[in-house]
Structure 1
């Protein structure tokens, strides 16, 4: 049982509009492309979203499914959670959903195998599980940031629960990783950074530095793509 405590009404992603001025553009550009393509191709019928937060992809999902239910360990700040529960102990019947999705949640679940086991239990035979999580990312939602998974790690935990791996997509290549880390390092505003560094970022931001770096590293990723290093994965599995 995942007994990790979480803050009620936690702030979560609520919009999918990400421009080149956004600090996380290099992440969301490829991640959203692969996620939305997977939703359109595999999502159907009754869908359960494990770790739904504010349901930022609700409009996309609702177009292709007949029912959308979201569960999370706490209520989100927009009150979008339908079932409040732990990801490894979901009070829903066996074989009751056609599709299950879990985006950017598994790294926060202490019992990550329990999450995958629950998805397998609740999913109908032949149903699809759309799962995503980071490979390269800074600490976030601390202290509840526990794991990072390689493509081999995702394959291992999915097959351990009984899933058949259908597709695995890396979100961004090595240049996106480099650009994203550069931006996060420049803009990190942790207490203790020198005033000169904070001033530099203000100047950097004023002169559209984020936009320029996003454009440059996006161009490098498009022209010299290499998936030996990636930011994130979107994985499709079937029961």
Structure 2
């Protein structure tokens, strides 16, 4: 990442809660993402933990008791003032081989030097310990203009192996139907820009078919039809060899 952090807005609003109900616009994303992320925490997170891109540390409270230390780094301070160290993701001012676990959730797409982030995670981890990293394959532009990449599982694998990691698990967070439902909900606000009878008709339909109905419908289909050739997101667990 270069030094354009001075252009980034301080006290940026970040995720704070992990409970996302079925009325939430992004329920489909969080349902499948949190399922896989929390499972990864339970299986692999231990000891001294570093969070790269920690924001408001939304997952601190749900980490297993085996995690006894939590340090969060980010390029800017969060709106709840939770960041411990302000730094670039590819230049973290901490000594090597220091951590038992490194996590980086929904951050890598905002890092220009994404390979540098992964290399730093490898440097900071102890041998035979784990990186838990997540990032999107589908998602609208956000935190613009600092939104640079989307990743396939093969892209993640390449970057991690290049840094010296061994891939342990690759989790696709939902399949084609969850992507379809989430994309539909992301498109809904534009309906309010349609004028005339067509716009009136679509808005009337939306008053009947609410967000929770769309979430429920696409969630159930996605669970029945396990097609992950298109997914919203990935959670990857990698081990420092």
Sort the TM-score into its range (normalised by shorter chain).
Answer: over 0.9
Give the match's secondary structure for 2:193.
coil
Alpha-carbon distance in 2 for matches of 1:167, 1:65: 20
Deviates more, 1:147-156 or 1:192-201: 192-201
Unaligned runs of 5+ in 1: none
Q: Do the aligned residues in 2 keep the contact of 1:62 with 1:68 (CA within 8 Å)?
A: no
Q: How many residues align?
A: 237
CA deviations on 1:12-64 (whole Å, 9 max, x unpaired) are 01111111101101100010000000001000000000000001111012633
What residue is the counterpart of 1:222 in the other structure?
Answer: 223
Equivalent of 1:129 in 125, 128, 131:
131
Q: Please report how far the alpha carbon of residue 194 of structure 1 lies from its aligned counterpart in structure 2 after TM superposition.
A: 3.7
SS at match of 1:237: strand
C-alpha contact (below 8 Å) 1:204/1:210 kept by paired residues: no
C-alpha RMSD of matched pairs (Å) = 1.9
Separation (CA, whole Å) in 2 of partners of 1:200 and 1:48:
50
**1:42/1:128 contact within 8 Å kept:** yes
Gap runs ≥5 in structure 2: none
Measure, in 2, the Cα distance between the counterparts of 1:70 and 1:100.
Answer: 10
> What is the DSSP-based 3-state SS (H/G/I as helix, E as strand, rest coil) of the residue aligned with 1:9?
coil
Per-residue CA distance 1:119-166 (angstroms, 9 max, x = gap): 000001111000000001111111000000100000000000000000
Match of 1:103 in 2: 105
Find the aligned partners of 1:69 and 1:116 in 2 and give their Cα distance: 17
Q: Secondary structure at the match of 1:66?
A: strand
Within the candidate set 151, 159, 168, 1:149 is matched to 151
| Stretches (4+) displaced over 3 A | 194-208
Distance 1:220 1:74, change over 3 A: same
Mapped partners of 1:202, 1:124: distance in 2: 55
Q: CA distance change for structure 1 residues 206 and 41 in 2, over 3 Å: closer, same or farther? A: same
| Alignment check: 8 A CA contact 2:42 2:64 kept | no
**Secondary structure at 1:35's aligned position in 2?**
helix
Deviations 1:169-219 (CA, angstroms, capped at 9, x unpaired)? 000010001100011011258xx9346688778656654511111011011
Alignment of 1:48-197 (within 5 A): 48-61=50-63, 63-188=65-190, 193-194=193-194
- 2:201 & 2:38 partners in 1: Cα distance? 36
Tell me if structure 1 keeps the 8 A contact 2:45–2:64: no
